Each structure stands twice: as C-alpha cells, then as structure tokens.
Amino acid sequence: MKITLNTVIETFTEYALINHIPLNENRAYSWAAFLPEDAAELRTDILYIADIDALDTSAISGKGYSFLCIAGADTKNSDIPRDCLAVKGADSITHLAEMIQKRFSELIEWDSKLKDIVISNGTYQDIIDASEYILGNPLQVLDASYKLLATTSHIRSDDEIDIKLTESGFHSQATLRKIQESGRLKAYKEETGIIINQPGNPNKYGTVGRWFWDSGMPVVHTLMICKNGAPSPSLIDIFQVLTEHCRNCFLMDQRRNPQTGRIYDSLINDLLFGNIDDPAEINERAKVADIPVTGCFTLCKILLMENNETLIKRVFNDLFQFLPNARIILHQFEIILLNSYDKDNVMRQIERDSDKLFPLLSSYDAVCGMSSPFNRIVDMPVAFSQAAKAISMGEAVKDSKVLQNTDADQLFAPLGTRNIFYYDDILIYHLISLGMHNDPSVFKNSICRDIVRNMWKEDERTDNDNARILFTYLMTERKATRTGELLHMHRNNVIYRINKIEEMTGLDLDDYWTRMKLLISFHLLRLELTAGNEE
C-alpha cells in the first residue's frame, strides 16, 4: 500500500502547514524515512524527513522527490522550497518522524491484514471488521441485488434507511426507488470509480461508494456512510484501498468456487494459459485491468521445493508486501509475478527487487526464474517460457565445480549462492543446449573446445590455473588489472601468463571470433560436466 499525500497532510492537522508538494501530481509513498546522505539513493516513492537547512534544493528540486520538514512559527511561505511540506511548531525532527511513521505503520499493517484475510479465504465481514476503526464510519458491502453482505459491528448509522437495511438484510423496493430518483443508480452505471453523494439524497448522511463490475455487470458495492461529516481527501483515499480489497475478495471467491458461474478470469491467466492471442483484444483488456500495454516489464516464476498449498499461500501473501506494485497470480503450485519498471535505471530496479525477493525465497526454500526485460504486454507468453527455462537451466549449472574456488566465480552466471535465476544469465547455456539437442556432435569438432578441455584437465592435474586465468581474462574483456584483482595476481604476472598461453596454444586473442569460440567452449565445458557428459 502507498500512502497518499492527502493522508500525510491530514496526519498534521493540529499544526499549521505550508505545502509546496504539488497536489495535482497525486504523489504516494511506500514509507517515510530520514533523508539519506547520498542523493543518489533518493526515491520518489519515499517521503523524506529532513531539516530544511539540509536540503540542497539546486540538486533535488523538480525531480519528484518529497520532503517533510519543520518550519518556525514566523517562517514565510516563500522560505519553503518546492516539493516540501513544512510543519510549523513541531517539537523536533524526531517527533515529526514518530508521528508520520506511526501513521504509515498503522495503514500498512491494516492493508497487510486485509490482504491476509483475502488470501486465507476470509469474508467481506472479516474485511469490514478489520477496517471499522481505520475509517471511523459505518461501512457496508452489498451485492448487485442490494443484499447486505457485511456491515460494521460497532459503528452504526442512525439513518432510517441504514437501520432498515441492517434489520432486513436488503433494501426495500421503496428505498431503491428513492435511490433511483436521486440519480445514484445512473451514476453508478456510468462511473466505475469513487462516487460521493451529498447528504439528504436520499440518505440522512453523505456517502462514499464504489461498485466493482465483472463481465459487464455490477457485482459488489462498497459504501461508507459519512456520519462524522464530509469526507476528507485522505478518508476517500483510504476508502478506495478498502474497495480494492473487497474487489479482490470477490475475485478470489470466484476462483475458489467456479460453480457459482463466475470463474475468475484475469488477463494474465488467459495470456499464459488460455488461447487469447489477438493483440487488439489483449490491449483492450489490459486497459480495463489497469495493466500498461507498453512499458518495461519482467515476468517471474516462483516454485517451492515442496508443493505445500499452505506455504504457497504464505509466500503469495508475503509477496504483496515485498513487491506491492507487482501483479501476482497463482497457477496450481506456481506463483507468477508481472513486474513493471520505470524506463530509467531498469537494471538497478531489477536488482532492488531481487534483493527484496532473496530473503523471502530463502525462508521458504523457493527458487525464482526471471525473464529478460520486455516492452509489450503481448510478449508475456515468451517471457513466461524464459522464466521457466531460467529455473531449469539455472538449477542445472549452478553447482558446477568448473573453475571454482576463486573470486572470479562471480563471472560465471548464474551464481550458486542465489536462488534467483535470470534468463539473460543462462541464455548462453540455453543456446548451447538447443544446439546439443539438435545435433549432439555439433560442438565436438572444435579446436577451441579441445584447447579449453585439455587446458582444464591439465590444470586439474598440475594446478597451473591456465584455464582459470584465460577464462577470467576473456570475461573481463582482456583487462589485465581487473583479472589480477579477481585472481589475486599482479597485473604484469597476468600479462606474462596470457602471453605464455598464446604461445602454447597458437591462439590469437586479438581476434574477436577466437575469443567468442573460447568463451562458448568454457560454457560448454561447464554444461557438459554438470550433465555428466565429460569425455
């Protein structure tokens, strides 16, 4: 869950505020943290708590970062830089941090609890019970026939319409006629988002409501009765989060109970396991599902070593917290993630997500395959094949002992110390395996292959390390200094050994194709030894 700027502002209603964070940009935040020393670590989804004097406005202004600061009682509006929310009269930066982080924690824990309810076969009533005191108003969930599915247990409305609804469990025809005459039913048919109704039309209090539609029909209606006054922007934002969980509760119920006639049918499921292949249809459905048609994506496939349904649900639940922006689905005993990234610094974002995934996967003894980045949602089936192949090939080669016991191991991908395999890393192994499958003898008649194999065997017998030195030298693009660092050798010694290898083998390492064939031969050796095909 991301906390909106409206909620941040409402947290400090007891103070005078000067806000220079643009409200029209709809900024939202994953967390509130103190300003890091390195500006390169700044992220647009974090609200930074800072001393106003510590901000280098020339370096950070206008880049979408947001800052929470303390201002003195006599601070002028013009003294506050862009992208800052200044709180007048706060005791200290620490006090400011305590207030905002407490609010963030409260809402994030609530959101996490609702996710857990949905995943663990919870009901609408469970969701409403967990949300009652967060929203502080009476809440209702109704179906398309205006039957009451859930309502708050402690905070009740004294509106006659709501009292009768609670007593009978559904709206009467007379009440529905009033609602229709008010124009609300027409508005619900034309708008899929939040609808705010003013008091007296026909309810005693104003309401905030939202319908969820499925297959062209309204199915779930979530309603908040604004008993305590007009809803603030923050309250509306939080209510919208509640409606999403009610929507997810409906979708999960359809997946568990297909006999109801409404089978859960997501775009991702149809793309990967159905027969949808028309780009126009895919693009249209992607828009409805709020999935970008184009962008920068990766697709992950997660497998548990043990096909335990309970564990899979736990991983599924935890993933919503670790990667809140990912689209996550379950398919039998597989978990599939569609990740979307900003176009800038894609690899850095992938590394960040991988760092989040690694401890979670380790705790559940799970492995993950990640596709190459792709730009069109219609290419998701190809990405799924890549993710699956990343796991199978990665598991096959990660424990190979070829050229190990050196810092240069990091040049061999995938790393055996991780449980995340990237298709980009195993691509070379995949290509080699395809060639070997098509014609097992295709690589055997190769001078470079023979040189690499003989050099490795000689090293095994004599500890010369020629193969390791040559491989590292090639992988570092013939950088002698870098090779020396990885192998704990002096640069001059590296150059000397490479010259000797060239003399011994008759190879010209200035030739691009020679270097490529040698590297392919090293990877082929690793793959053959892993498969037990050593000759």
Direct distance between the N- and C-terminal alpha carbons of the chain, in angstroms, rounded to an integer: 56
Dihedral sign for Cα 218, 222, 227, 231, please. negative
d(CA 225, CA 525) in angstroms, rounded, equals 69
pLDDT of residue 459: 81
pLDDT of residue 96: 92
Nearest residue to 419 (alpha-carbon basis) of 386, 384, 391: 391
pLDDT of residue 75: 81
Q: 526's torsion region: left (phi>0), alpha (psi -120 to 50) or beta?
A: alpha
pLDDT of residue 186: 74
pLDDT of residue 340: 87
pLDDT of residue 222: 94
pLDDT of residue 385: 92
Structure tokens given for 172: 């009467």
pLDDT of residue 405: 42
pLDDT digits (tens, 9 = 90+) for 520-534: 888 888 777 775 555
Structure tokens given for 93: 């930066």
pLDDT of residue 58: 66
d(CA 531, CA 533) in angstroms, rounded, equals 6
Nearest residue to 6 (alpha-carbon basis) of 73, 97, 103: 103
pLDDT of residue 153: 93
Structure tokens given for 193: 């988002």
pLDDT of residue 223: 95
Provide the 10 A C-beta neighbour count for residue 119: 18
Intervals of the chain under pLDDT 50: 258-265, 405-408, 413-417
pLDDT of residue 85: 93
